[in-house]
Amino acid sequence: SGPGSSGPIKISVFGTGYLGATHAVAMAELGFEVMGADTDQGKVDALAAGKVPFFEPGLDPLLEKHLATGRLTFTSDLAAAAAWGDVHFICVGTPQMKTSHAANLSYVESAATTIARNLTKDALIVGKSTVPVGTAARLREVIAAELPAGRKAELVWNPEFLREGKAVDDTLHPDRIVLGGTSAQAEATLREVYAGPIAEGTPVVVTDLPTAELVKVSANAFLATKISFINAISTVCEAAGADVTVLADALGHDVRIGRQFLNAGLGFGGGCLPKDIRALMHRANELGAYRASALLQQVDEINMGQRERVLDMAVEACGGSVLNHRIGVLGAAFKPDTDDVRDSPALNVAAALHLRGAQVTVFDPEAGDTARRSFPTLSYATSIQEAVEGTDVVLVLTEWDEFAKADAEKLAPLTSSPRVVDARGKLDPARWRAAGWEFAGLGRPAA
Ligand code: NAD
């Protein structure tokens, strides 16, 4: 039972974006009564009507299922959700500040304030958002100051590691569950919430608040470092005539290294990795951990440099200038299996080419609409064929399977001249060259 009432645990989820919507649906799937609360009325209306406002494989059917079971509701009445729940998950955004590398914590603070102020019973508040180390301790003070007289609330941190594109599975079957700063009672409540995954053998790491906060950003920093490592090596490969994809396969056979996150290419983007490593950089500097900060600074610079390298390759493929050249861009999402274009390297390169005077046509299997919303001045195609038609060069900027499977022979005659730049190591150079394409790949030898 919940901390403030007898009966089954009622779970409220504050913030119903990529993380919160998935978490709310997954908690209903685990059998709890769930209320998702968001300040964005449009999002709340969509979810309440059974429509996930973004593309996430497998989420729609589970949302419909639990709207039907009646276990899952959505509201924009944050105070009502605070009054209703026993366990409150904070899943709001922590984007990068406009003016610095630091994380913007105003949404997290606002959610914690709203929850604390409107509690009608003792409660457990669980932070899931990714936050700089030290945030939770400060939020405890905020909460203590806001609690109605006589109410008790405990704040703990339970960072989320889900991947967009695999969010449902990652939430229901996580690699690990990290619980930070829990009392014995809070730990028991969360073990009840996660009883399903725990019964499957998911390891639970119980630790203090700062460690829990840091596990999350360190995981992202490590993944980002792995990508920037292989991208740095890819520049050496290019200069030396080596093939980074073969090299990565060979490295990956070493179980200490592993093959994942060793794809050289346009680099990482999205709503998490870039802002998380920058926030850690910023926080590490504040804490005097300058070497950690310097390492992450390099990781970020290498990553952003990949976008420049791909721009240079496009310029070269167009004979020295992209002005008035027609460029087909395959990919807008920051990675496949999502429609998320937040800090997308693909869209960033497409936009830069547009600003340099190229006529850019973008195709993405899922992210066309989100891309159009954030970059309306680009042209958008509804198929690979349409994006490739009449182009001087084609760029592959997101690693959708659909692009790897594309029929190079059928596409070649549609172009004004068949030139392709594979910025994701996704295409088979031999096949494309045999189909008449001039092929350039990051970290791949010339023909
Ligand atoms: P998002 O922008 O998709 O969703 C955030 C939601 O919070 C929005 O719908 C917004 O309207 C809502 N919101 C803002 N203030 C609110 C308030 N006071 N009360 C209620 N709702 C409020 O962001 P996201 O991708 O879901 O990320 C949320 C957090 O989860 C971030 O800290 C992120 O770093 C972390 N995270 C994200 C992922 C991921 O893959 N997206 C994975 C792990 C962790």
**Hey, which of 14, 38, 43, 56 would you mutate to test ligand 1's pocket, going by the most ligand atoms within 8 Å of its Cβ?**
38
The strand pairing partners of 37, in sequence order, are 14, 75
pLDDT tens digit string along 276-288? 999 999 999 999 9
Of the three residues 143, 174, 205, the one that is the final residue of a domain is: 205
Enumerate residues lining ligand 1, CB below 6 A.
14-20, 37-40, 43, 78, 91-94, 107, 110-111, 129-130, 160, 162, 164, 271-272
Evaluate if residue 3 carries a pLDDT over 70: no
Q: Are 442 and 234 in contact (CB under 8 A)?
A: yes
Residue range(s) defining the domain that contains residue 368: 221-441
211 occurs within a structural domain: no
Q: 199 is written with which tokens?
A: 């019964």
Q: How far is the CA of 161 from the centre of ligand 1 (A)?
A: 13
Evaluate if residue 343 carries a pLDDT over 80: yes
Q: How far is the CA of 91 from the centre of ligand 1 (A)?
A: 5
- Nearest alpha carbon, ligand 1 atom 28: 93
Among all residues, which ones are annotated catalytic?
A: 272
pLDDT tens digit string along 172-203? 999 999 999 999 999 999 999 999 999 999 99
1 occurs within a structural domain: no
Q: Same domain, yes or no, for 184 and 302?
A: no
Q: Same domain, yes or no, for 170 and 228?
A: no
Q: How far is the CA of 19 from the centre of ligand 1 (A)?
A: 6
Pairing of strands 379-380, 393-396: unpaired
Evaluate if residue 121 carries a pLDDT over 80: yes
- Mean pLDDT computed over 353-374: 97
Q: Same domain, yes or no, for 258 and 362?
A: yes
Q: 440 is written with which tokens?
A: 């350039």
The pLDDT value recorded for residue 8 is 87
Q: Which of 258, 303, 259 is nearest to 277 (CA)?
A: 303
Ligand 1 atom nearest to CA at 163: 40
Ligand 1 atom nearest to CA at 110: 18
Q: Same domain, yes or no, for 174 and 253?
A: no
**Hey, which of 92, 146, 178 would you mutate to test ligand 1's pocket, going by the most ligand atoms within 8 Å of its Cβ?**
92
| Residue 265 assigned as binding residue | yes
pTM: 0.95
Of the three residues 205, 235, 262, the one that is the final residue of a domain is: 205
- Mean pLDDT computed over 242-256: 96
What is the CB neighbour count within 10 angstroms for residue 191?
15
Q: Same domain, yes or no, for 314 and 378?
A: yes
Q: How far is the CA of 195 from the centre of ligand 1 (A)?
A: 24
**Hey, which of 76, 223, 272, 373 would you mutate to test ligand 1's pocket, going by the most ligand atoms within 8 Å of its Cβ?**
272
Q: How far is the CA of 129 from the centre of ligand 1 (A)?
A: 7
Q: What is the end-to-end Cα distance of the chain in Å, rounded?
A: 66
Pairing of strands 419-422, 359-363: unpaired
447 occurs within a structural domain: no
The pLDDT value recorded for residue 390 is 97
Query: What is the value of ipTM here, to two decimals?
Result: 0.99
- Mean pLDDT computed over 311-322: 96
The pLDDT value recorded for residue 270 is 96
Number of domains in the chain: 2
Of the three residues 160, 181, 205, the one that is the final residue of a domain is: 205
